[in-house]
Amino acid sequence: DQQVKQNSPSLSVQEGRISILNCDYTNSMFDYFLWYKKYPAEGPTFLISISSIKDKNEDGRFTVFLNKSAKHLSLHIVPSQPGDSAVYFCAASARGSGTYKYIFGTGTRLKVLA
């Protein structure tokens, strides 16, 4: 049972436009969410996080939005650059689970076209 779902396995966006990556979750106990980015043959690298007490967190070109009622979060990248082409993983952790127990989605492969 996938508690964290990334329903779009891939996404292509033109350079300079907005990339929107989506993530849905089922566990209402999740209260901390992260996005990781992964290039081929490298480990995932942390991108941005959001706590459930917020609905938005911004870091440069990256913004994460959280809609708790819909159990949905999204990552916006504006403007998209070719170097953003990678696989993006959404992850979540639950209250009382221990901070290390992140549940990851299956990833979305983003391709930014020059």
Partner 1 sequence: GAGVSQSPSNKVTEKGKDVELRCDPISGHTALYWYRQSLGQGLEFLIYFQGNSAPDKSGLPSDRFSAERTGGSVSTLTIQRTQQEDSAVYLCASSLGSTRSNEQFFGPGTRLTVL
Residues that bind partner 1 (CB under 8 A): 2, 4, 6, 32, 36, 41-46, 49, 51, 89, 91, 93, 98-107
Nearer to partner 1, 63 or 89 (CB): 89
Q: Please say whether the beta carbons of 102 and 45 come within 8 A.
A: no
Nearer to partner 1, 41 or 114 (CB): 41
Nearer to partner 1, 14 or 106 (CB): 106
Q: What's the angle, vertex CA 26, arms to CA 97 and CA 34, rounded to 5?
A: 60
CB 16 to partner 1: min, Å: 29
CB 69 to partner 1: min, Å: 23
Partners of 23 in the β-ladder: 73
- CA–CA distances in Å: residue 13 to residues 33, 34, 45, 54: 24, 22, 21, 28
